[in-house]
Amino acid sequence: MHGFSSTRQLDIQGLPVFIFDTHLPPETIDATYQDLVNRRYDSDHASSKATRDYREWVSEMDLETFRQDSLYAAMSRLVEKCFPDEDISFFSVFCNCISYGCHTFMHQDGGEDCFSALYYANPEWNVDWGGETTFFDDDGDAIACIAPVPGRIIVLDGRIQHRAGMPSRSCPRRRYTISLRCDLEEGAARRS
């Protein structure tokens, strides 16, 4: 079993963002990255109804297949670590693929009791390539950023307004993230 260290926890207007730097084996990081690079991406996803004219590159992943992956074990374990007394129901997993010039928009992942675990999948990332995830307050003011450090996993409350950062012009590759969505017990009951 590989370890995790929580580098910090942010509070965005009373809602939590947990940041974990992972110590996944290099072969897991490399295999996941190669899988994402070779996936088929469709541009039929929008961050919200308001941005539906601007499509984003997404690859839907089969949750049951992903449950067999060691990355799922790591991500789900971290969600459980953040909410040890909750009954958690995972309901969706997909990959985002962003390159220079792509549109990204401020959005929320869900309502009360919805959380997302986000895995930064690139095996290397230069700070000058940008790509930070930016978090906003209710007035739309950017108040925190998290760098896409390779292997990093963040767990965030789905009500937090955030935006995936676009890689800079100098970035020679795409930015890949895996988003695993879940509900806590009350949210799962509302979803069914």
CA–CA–CA angle 155, 69, 152 (5° rounding):
35
pLDDT in the model for residue 186: 57
Sequence-separated (6 or more) residues with CB below 8 Å from residue 184: 83, 86, 87, 88, 89, 113, 115
pTM: 0.88
Domains of the chain, start order: 4-191 (2.60.120.620)
Q: What is the pLDDT along the chain (192 residues), one digit of tens a residue?
A: 355 666 789 999 999 999 999 778 889 999 999 999 999 887 665 454 554 555 568 899 999 999 999 999 999 999 999 988 889 999 999 999 998 988 788 888 888 899 999 999 999 999 999 999 999 999 999 999 999 999 999 999 999 999 999 999 999 999 999 999 999 875 444 445
